[in-house]
Amino acid sequence: MNPQKLKGFRDFSAEDLKLRYRVIDTLKEVFSLFGFSPLETPALEMGETLKGKYGPEADKLLYTFTDRGGREVGMRYDLTVPLSRFIAENSGSITLPFKRYQIQPVWRAENTQRGRYREFLQCDADIVGSRSPLADAEIIAVSYAVFQKLGLSYAAIQINRRQVLFKLLTNAKISSPEIQLSVLRSLDKINKIGKDGVEKELSAKGLSSSLIETVFANIQKAEPDENLAAVIALAKELGVPAEKLCFESTLSRGLDYYTGVIFEISTTEGSLGSLAGGGRYDNLIEKLGGPALPATGIALGFERIIEVLKESGLGKYKETGISVLVIPVTESETSVALKTLRQLRQNGLGAEIYPELGAKMEKQLKYADRKGRDFAVIIGPEETANKTVVLKNLRTQSQEVVSFDDLTKQLESCSRESLE
Ligand code: AMP
């Protein structure tokens, strides 16, 4: 058998995970600071929950299959529809407005490229049960705070409102809701395929060239409406600098469920696509069989944030704790070595032992070196008799004899920085 992964699916090494875990911790910290509580939902949903919510193009990317019980099921495509299903199912018992964050993988059968995978992590923050522009502004403010905290302070938030787009389409005499949504789906690709590409798509959808021209002319002239202006004003009062909030009349967001304010965060370089996207979806919970509850939220694209952090040199991570390998010189020192190991671990010092009894000392030292350990604590017959250990600094190769009782204290006083 030829061992290989599926395209668009990835393994993560310890090195990758250091950065990923750190970013996840930052996200959790900022979301909590803004009063969002965590939620997790299952990987699989009923097929009917997912289908028909995102639009025909996105629906084609759903991973669906028939389970052993003959039911059609689908893998989570995003975190918004599962949240809406959760609210629809539990609306009687939750406190409104409901604020949740969710950090879980989603699956899309996409054509893969840089920053576009088939299994990837999304990190969402949403507020359910408020129609107020303050809820939208809070979502924008929390997203901005995340980017600030990660050091990606250049990230600007583009903002628009679906009603602004619907109105300008209606003014261009495109009044059918289906055609309006279809135009927005094409417009959403403007950064990817350019204005020419969008025009070609619209023409293929049957729009005349004069109509397409009118649509773009109307887009050019569009202004924020009252609701959008209120969202922008409140977001500023919540600390988002004016220059980071840009009204962008071409912004349309590709997914069908958006009903109001929409926003997107992009990188300065276009090729990676958007770093985050979201908006208001006031009909989705009702569509899933729940009460008519309004909702707004954002999905942060974790994978692209990681790429940008790495590229900008912010992905480097300094370990803080020190790490030790305890080395029994012969098998007779196993007990003393295990006792030492336990003592170090109980005191919060990262310590491990080569997981094989009687391994040669050189082999153990080589292992410590390859794993980048800071110290070796070497215990031979003489040390056991004297209740001492040999403490070897693996960076400098210097070593000293330390009494067993002083070992923890001595290691605790070392910090990573002092070793370098
Ligand atoms: P969406 O749910 O499509 O609005 O996407 C929200 C965010 O998820 C985007 O801004 C991207 O950063 C990220 N994203 C979407 N699709 C992918 C993908 N295939 N691979 C990695 N990240 C993605």
Is the distance from the beta carbon of residue 301 to the nearest atom of ligand 1 less than 6 Å? Answer: yes
What is residue 271's predicted lDDT score, i.e. its pLDDT?
A: 67
The residue to which tokens 């070196």 are assigned: 369
How many angstroms does the Cα of residue 375 sit away from the middle of ligand 1?
43
The residue whose C-alpha atom lies closest to atom 10 belonging to ligand 1 is 276
Mean pLDDT by 10 residues, the chain (420 residues): 96 94 96 97 98 92 97 98 98 95 98 94 98 97 94 88 95 92 90 90 93 92 96 96 93 91 82 89 97 97 94 75 91 95 91 93 94 94 95 94 94 68
CA angle 224/230/231 to nearest 5° reads 85
The residue to which tokens 């299903």 are assigned: 85
Is the distance from the beta carbon of residue 303 to the nearest atom of ligand 1 less than 6 Å? Answer: yes
Is the distance from the beta carbon of residue 274 to the nearest atom of ligand 1 less than 6 Å? Answer: yes
Cα 306 from chain centroid? 8
Q: Which atom of ligand 1 is nearest to the CA of 264?
A: 10
pLDDT single digits (tens) 247-286: 999 999 988 899 999 999 987 655 677 899 999 999 999 9
How many angstroms does the Cα of residue 275 sit away from the middle of ligand 1?
7
What is residue 85's predicted lDDT score, i.e. its pLDDT?
A: 98
pTM check: above 0.85: yes
What is residue 317's predicted lDDT score, i.e. its pLDDT?
A: 64
pLDDT single digits (tens) 310-327: 988 888 766 667 889 999
CA–CA gap between residue 42 and residue 24 (Å, rounded):
19
The residue whose C-alpha atom lies closest to atom 15 belonging to ligand 1 is 301
Is the distance from the beta carbon of residue 84 to the nearest atom of ligand 1 less than 6 Å? Answer: no
Q: How many angstroms separate the Cα of 117 from the Cα of each of 8, 51, 111, 132, 280?
A: 5, 21, 8, 35, 25
How many angstroms does the Cα of residue 355 sit away from the middle of ligand 1?
42
The residue whose C-alpha atom lies closest to atom 11 belonging to ligand 1 is 301
Is the distance from the beta carbon of residue 117 to the nearest atom of ligand 1 less than 6 Å? Answer: yes
- What the block records as the tokens of 379 is 């215990």
What is residue 417's predicted lDDT score, i.e. its pLDDT?
A: 53
What is residue 416's predicted lDDT score, i.e. its pLDDT?
A: 57
- What the block records as the tokens of 347 is 């005191």
- For 207, phi then psi, to 5°, come to -85, 135
Q: Which atom of ligand 1 is nearest to the CA of 112?
A: 19
Is the distance from the beta carbon of residue 162 to the nearest atom of ligand 1 less than 6 Å? Answer: no
